[in-house]
Structure 1
Amino acid sequence: MPDLTHRQLYLQRLGYDTPPAPTLQTLRDLQLRHVCTFAFESLSTLLRLPVPIDLANVERKVLLDGRGGYCYELNQMFLALLQELGFDARGITGRVVMGGPADARTARTHRLSLVTLDGVRYITDVGFGGMVPSSPLQLDSEAVQATSHEPYRLTHNADDSYTLWAEVAGEWRGLYVFDLQEQADIDYEIGNWYVSTHPGSPFLGQLKVARLAPGKRYTLNNAHYAVHYLDRPSEKHTIKQADELLALLRETFGIRLPVEGALVEKINGLIMASS
């Protein structure tokens, strides 16, 4: 039996024996299955390791090495799959404003994708951490859009950009601002270089992990672990032992851990800083 290609392995991990047709329902299913299967994680930037974002390295890391990744990795891999399945799709970028004013002019450090189906445009994103949308969102609508998790909406701004909002605990929170400008590989390289190496990056030396499941979201921010539910209050817990955190990464987030010596040292530092 011949070895599976990376793309066949990817589809298999998402529950497909044969390639599905490029329909809106397929896009919805693919996005939900991806965010419930592959973890968003920043172990490489925690360990201050390089984060190569060429497709071969990304597929090897996620599909063969048992890791996850962040937007420049996960959304690149997802876009390549969509294009191979026949979707009209391309990459775009945005500026993260989550946690601050929705009109802040932050760096262009988030990657997502634009998909056009039967003349209707959607954004799809599998790489936005704990608040990643679990369904594609119609671009040219400002109506509230249901997803498999929280409601989202998009607003079209005066400068022809768009803002993505999520409703969390009854409050609308701005997540990121994006436009439809064509992006070249070098644009992603520059954004990834900033995120993975710049002293001001929120990822450098930090541990951020997330994965979705039906009706809930698992998040880990350094030593702070939470399970966010759709129908009841979140459960939050500060981790006190490295073994507990390592087990969480393996068992809840499904991550095959890199060499644990350096990782344990970093994790112990995060636990001390959080206590």
Structure 2
Amino acid sequence: MLAADEIPALHPDQLVAWLRRIGIAEVPDAPTLPVLNTLIAAQLAHIPFENLDALLGRRVSIDLPSVFEKLVAQGRGGYCFEQNTLLCAGLKALGYAVTPLAARVRWHVPEATPTGLSHMLLRVEVAHESYIADVGFGGPTPDRALSLSLPPDENTPYRLHPSPANALTGTGFHCLDLTVPDVSDDASGWQPIYRFDLTPQPWIDFIARNWYVSTHPDSHFTRTLMAARTDGDTRLALANGNLSERSPDGSVRKTALASADAVIDTLATRFQIRLDPALRAALATRLPAVLG
């Protein structure tokens, strides 16, 4: 029996609709690692990461019916609590064993600065091995499942590794890093994305975390426009008016979007977010303050 605090599996008709939304015509036959990687890549390409509702002061609901309606039926995107809730429900419907986890974000955060457990990711069991799957971190989101026990894949720019146990708690955590090409500043080399342990997280605990990131005045999600999507072999990311295009070799091309109209057009075209007239109007009002 499904516990009240677990994310349920998609119903058969929802499963088909989700797969179509991410460009997959047929239901996979078996819960394998190649299928898992295909699903991750497909969702990153077809359902954009975005925080438009939080930026506009709209309520963000992360129960599965609300997430399905927004991300699948309405053609919108979402952030980690929405994206990974949908992925979790889809994977469960396909026969995967999935456990939600929580992480502390370290991307562009100074080492001495503490962070809360504000990010949701998934632990997925495949062929007696454990992997993490994540489609909700934004620009540097891994494009495939990463093993928690097998040697690192040298063909990916990501590094997942354990850290020594904490002297006070006796528990350790895992670190996810992304390698950045050599540049002329201190941002080159391996950069931490987030840290997490393997403690299963009840879904109800994500409600408070979601409320904080979507409503608190100090949250990046209420102050900064963010969007991301995979476009072919390029990872697109938007922060306010700054558009970044990361190539497979790690190099990044940056473009400044000078106006609210340019940002809205980019959200609709490059990020493929379905913007109805009300959403367009709200963005046109909010973006001038965000862009400065």
TM-score with structure 2 setting the length: 0.86
Cα distance in 1 between the residues matched to 2:240 and 2:229: 15
Counterpart residue identity of residue 31, structure 1: I
Matched, 1:160 2:156: no
Cα distance in 2 between the residues matched to 1:55 and 1:197: 20
Aligned 8 A contact 1:48 1:205 in 2: no
| Residue 99 (structure 2) aligns with | 90
76-85 or 203-212, which moves further after superposition?
Answer: 203-212
Cα distance in 1 between the residues matched to 2:255 and 2:50: 19
1:10-89 map, 5 Å:
10-20=18-28, 21-89=30-98
Aligned 8 A contact 1:164 1:177 in 2: yes
Aligned 8 A contact 1:142 1:154 in 2: no
Aligned 8 A contact 1:142 1:153 in 2: no
1:1-275 map, 5 Å:
5-20=13-28, 21-101=30-110, 104-141=113-150, 143-147=152-156, 151-157=157-163, 158=165, 159-170=171-182, 171-231=189-249, 233-258=251-276, 259=278, 260-271=280-291, 273=292
Aligned 8 A contact 1:91 1:111 in 2: yes
Aligned 8 A contact 2:22 2:47 in 1: no
TM-score with structure 1 setting the length: 0.91
Cα distance in 2 between the residues matched to 1:103 and 1:142: 29
SS at match of 1:270: helix
Aligned 8 A contact 1:59 1:77 in 2: yes
Cα distance in 2 between the residues matched to 1:59 and 1:209: 19
Q: CA deviation at 1:102?
A: 5.1
Cα distance in 2 between the residues matched to 1:166 and 1:237: 22
Cα distance in 2 between the residues matched to 1:134 and 1:53: 23
Gaps of 5+ in 2: 1-11, 166-170, 183-188
Aligned pair count reads 266
SS at match of 1:253: coil
Cα distance in 2 between the residues matched to 1:168 and 1:110: 22
Cα distance in 1 between the residues matched to 2:162 and 2:51: 31
Q: Describe the shift of the 1:100–1:172 C-alpha distance in structure 2 as closer, same or farther (beyond 3 A).
A: same
Gaps of 5+ in 1: none
Q: Describe the shift of the 1:219–1:58 C-alpha distance in structure 2 as closer, same or farther (beyond 3 A).
A: same
Cα distance in 2 between the residues matched to 1:120 and 1:145: 18
Q: Describe the shift of the 1:106–1:232 C-alpha distance in structure 2 as closer, same or farther (beyond 3 A).
A: closer
Cα distance in 1 between the residues matched to 2:229 and 2:253: 15
Aligned 8 A contact 2:227 2:237 in 1: yes
Q: Describe the shift of the 1:205–1:230 C-alpha distance in structure 2 as closer, same or farther (beyond 3 A).
A: same
SS at match of 1:116: strand
Aligned 8 A contact 1:98 1:176 in 2: yes
Cα distance in 1 between the residues matched to 2:123 and 2:251: 33
98-107 or 56-65, which moves further after superposition?
Answer: 98-107
Q: CA deviation at 1:230?
A: 2.5
Counterpart residue identity of residue 195, structure 1: V
Q: Residues 73-120 of structure 1: CA distance to partner in whole angstroms, max 9, x if unpaired?
A: 000000100000001112111110111245753100000100111211
255-264 or 75-84, which moves further after superposition?
Answer: 255-264
SS at match of 2:115: coil
Q: CA RMSD in A?
A: 1.7
Cα distance in 2 between the residues matched to 1:88 and 1:235: 38
